[in-house]
Amino acid sequence: MPLLHNGDRFPRLSIRKVGGGTIELPNDLAGAFGVVLIYRGAWCPYCNAQLAAFARAGAKLEEAGVKVVAFSVDDETTTAALAAKHNVRFPLGYGADADAIAAAVGAYVNREPHYLQTTGFVLAPDGAVINAVYSSAAIGRLVPDDVAGLVAYVKSKMSQASAA
């Protein structure tokens, strides 16, 4: 299970999306800073808190040029109910193949019941990883304020480099 490191290109993933269609990563985030949230499931209180926080921070993140997607192994009905509960406006994927995702991005997998542990990535506009957060259990995850701060910092460094 290879971990993704800063500078690595995020692998191509296709996840079914609530409401129809698919989330195509990293293509759906291209041209913007991107956040990929892999969450344990709708049953997880920490995941609920994280998704609700990103939903509340939607306008701030959008203003900062950040797109967010999230997914889990949950079914579509469960995922749609979670989106409604927290007023999630960013794309939510469902039915992720835990083993295939783990093989592609290095996420930890809980064996029984079978689900992905919380994993988060911040991507540059070109799809390169600029931060990866791997958790082997319930806690340890990206939070919106940290993402906004990191993106502001990276943008400032990009501006300085282009001015030089």
Helix (H/G/I), strand (E/B), else coil: 109: strand
**7 inside domain:** no
Is residue 160's pLDDT more than 90? no
**33 inside domain:** yes
More confident residue, 161 or 58: 58
pLDDT at 130: 97
**10 inside domain:** no
pLDDT at 18: 98
User: What φ, ψ does residue 54 adopt, rounded to 5°?
Assistant: -65, -35
pTM of the model: 0.96
* pLDDT tens column, 51-76: 999 999 999 999 999 999 999 999 99
* pLDDT tens column, 79-130: 999 999 999 999 999 999 999 999 999 999 999 999 999 999 999 999 999 9
Other C-beta atoms lying within 10 Å of the C-beta of residue 29:
24
**1 inside domain:** no
Other C-beta atoms lying within 10 Å of the C-beta of residue 77:
11
**3 inside domain:** no
Task: Give me the sign of the Cα torsion angle 35, 53, 92, 112.
Answer: positive
Domain CATH for 159:
3.40.30.10
Angle at 26 (CA atoms; ends 23, 30), nearest 5 degrees? 105
Beta-bridged to residue 77, according to DSSP, are none
Q: How many domains does the chain have?
A: 1
Cβ within 8 Å of residue 158, ≥6 positions away: none
**83 inside domain:** yes
**9 inside domain:** no
Average pLDDT over the chain, rounded to whole?
96
User: What φ, ψ does residue 12 adopt, rounded to 5°?
Assistant: -75, 125
Q: Which residue range(s) make up the domain with 105? A: 15-163
**48 inside domain:** yes
In whole angstroms, give the CA distance from residue 164 to residue 155.
14
